[in-house]
Structure 1
Amino acid sequence: MRPGWFLRLAAICGYALLLAPALLVFIISFSAGDFLNFPPPGFSLRWYAALIDNGQLMAALRNSALLAAGVACIALAAGMPAAYAIARLEFPGRGVLAGFLAAPLLLPTLVLGLALLLAMQPMRLAATWPGLMLAHAMVAVPFAVRIMTTAFGGVPKDLEEAAWTLGATRFRAALRVTLPLAAPGAIAAGALCFLVSFDETVISLFLVGPRLSTLPVEMFRYAENRTDPLVAALAMTLIGVALAVVLLVERLVGFTRAVGRN
């Protein structure tokens, strides 16, 4: 049954509400003026050129990309075994394990960031690559577990049992049969974990230092002191990275297949 006019109108209004702020920022990012105002007095690429010439922001962009890639790998490595156990195995406390892995999402990031700072400072992990990766992985792993649990659950268990009857061990059957079929979910999980880390701000504010900072933190600091359209160009850069990752996942596997709903 096709949706009626009311549902279509509601959908259009919803999309307009979600996209209007991004459209406003997009227009301002091409402003030729010196201040954040709308409508802009003219249009130019001067603020994108200024962004490229800003060494501090470009270094933060590189840091965020490297950090997010490392966090995605850590989250997948830690989340896939847990997701497989939750989706495929029967054992006491399975629900408790799933709840425990989702617990970081229930805590306010402000509280989580402060707790991580207090825990990492004595170990000298604050403002270090390992410390930031572990902190970001803490909030990325629940997303990896959720997506991979769905992906593993979408693989028919009969295929794995058939491999057992042919002499494969449980580990080999999971590695050679289940994991390849759940690969689209792994791609989607890795992409989402990358974006979670790349956009993380609050926890990073507690853990960055003068020699190691991330792009969202530098964007926050820049917006505190200046009101020029460079911050709009920077915001569009963040949106562009997120959009590129989403389109890449859609191009490679498609979202429906990526979450295991074949």
Structure 2
Amino acid sequence: MQSLLPKLGRLYVIAVFAFIFLPLILVLLISFSTDDYLNFPPHGWGLRYYHEVLGNANFMAGIRNSAIIAAIVMVLSLAFGLPAAYALTRLNFAGRDFLRSFVLAPLILPTIVLGLGILMIFTQLHLTATYPGLVLAHLVMTLPFTVRILQTTLGNLGTEVEQAAMTLGARPLQTFRYITLPRLVPGLVAAGAISAILSFDEVVLSLFIVGPRLTTLPVAIYRYVDERTDPMVAVLAVLLIAVSLGIVLIVERSVGFARAFGR
């Protein structure tokens, strides 16, 4: 019986991964279809819809906008998230627990409710269908993840090395710059990568903010699917998966997610 447990464990793991990745494999195969509609197995194979995506100005504009917004959101998430995470982890002050809950509140609220509230405010501020509006809307979603990841990283680092540096005469700012910050680099890389992925893939909040002259790739896909269902949808899905997977692989190969969380 004991000899069967490892085999059953491996079969269970294989079944879980098959359940997760089999739909992705089907999407990848359908993206090479030459049919005029979604069909599996396809009647013909080729790169027809990849060429059409590359020649579609709306999708290319969506990719460009999504990439620009994701890059800005990543930088701002780290710029605002690092001080917040440090204060919530290392400093004791009145209202810290309330502030922590307030920062993480967007993770609890339904995204559609959050989007409606953002739309009502941004309409008054004339931020709809603008780059600043989309960046701020995405920050509402990415900042809690950034703070949470950096909190975990800071908590796992411990304070012994920092205390030793201050005992030897280093000032708090010097300690943070030369001791804490270099040790935080893996966590910063992981938090930045996740912020970029969340921003690039965000569709619900973007639907409330975009306009006819400014759209993102997920919104362009959503609108396309509402009108047509052909293998171009699969090609666009493959592009989104490739971007997310590429960022994850870069983080894993450069610093590793285990190291990113200070383990």
> TM tier, shorter chain?
over 0.9
1:12 to 14, 26, 47: 14
Please give the alpha-carbon distance, in whole angstroms, between the structure 2 residues aligned to 1:259 and 1:139: 20
Measured against aligned partners, the alpha-carbon deviations of 1:60-82 in whole angstroms (never above 9, x if no partner) come to: 00100110111111111111111
Counterpart residue type for residue 74 of structure 1: L
Please give the alpha-carbon distance, in whole angstroms, between the structure 1 residues aligned to 2:132 and 2:82: 21
Q: Paired residues, what number? A: 261
Measured against aligned partners, the alpha-carbon deviations of 1:151-188 in whole angstroms (never above 9, x if no partner) come to: 11222312111221233221221122101101100000
1:93 to 95, 100, 104: 95
* Matched residue, 1:55: 57
* Matched residue, 1:76: 78
* Matched residue, 1:148: 150
SS in 1 for 2:124: coil
Give the drift of 1:251: 1.1
Counterpart residue type for residue 244 of structure 2: A
* Matched residue, 2:237: 235
> Is 1:244 equivalent to 2:255 in the alignment?
no
2:128 to 89, 107, 126: 126
What runs of 5+ residues in structure 1 fail to find an aligned partner?
Answer: none
Counterpart residue type for residue 99 of structure 1: S
Please give the alpha-carbon distance, in whole angstroms, between the structure 2 residues aligned to 1:244 and 1:254: 14
> Is 1:224 equivalent to 2:226 in the alignment?
yes
Please give the alpha-carbon distance, in whole angstroms, between the structure 2 residues aligned to 1:178 and 1:154: 12
Identity %: 51
Runs (4 or more) in structure 1 with deviation over 3 Å come to none
Give the drift of 1:7: 2.2
What runs of 5+ residues in structure 2 fail to find an aligned partner?
Answer: none
User: Superposition pairs for residues 204-219 of structure 1, below 5 Å?
Assistant: 204-219=206-221
Please give the alpha-carbon distance, in whole angstroms, between the structure 2 residues aligned to 1:55 and 1:176: 47
> Is 1:136 equivalent to 2:138 in the alignment?
yes
User: Superposition pairs for residues 13-52 of structure 1, below 5 Å?
Assistant: 13-52=15-54
* Matched residue, 1:163: 165
Please give the alpha-carbon distance, in whole angstroms, between the structure 2 residues aligned to 1:5 and 1:95: 46
Counterpart residue type for residue 253 of structure 2: R
SS in 2 for 1:121: helix
* Matched residue, 1:114: 116
- Greater Cα shift, 48-57 or 169-178: 169-178
1:180 to 168, 179, 182: 182
- Greater Cα shift, 160-169 or 64-73: 160-169
Please give the alpha-carbon distance, in whole angstroms, between the structure 2 residues aligned to 1:165 and 1:51: 60
* Matched residue, 1:196: 198
Q: Could you tell me the TM-score, scaled by structure 1's length? A: 0.96
Please give the alpha-carbon distance, in whole angstroms, between the structure 1 residues aligned to 2:216 and 2:169: 49
Give the drift of 1:103: 0.3
SS in 1 for 2:157: coil
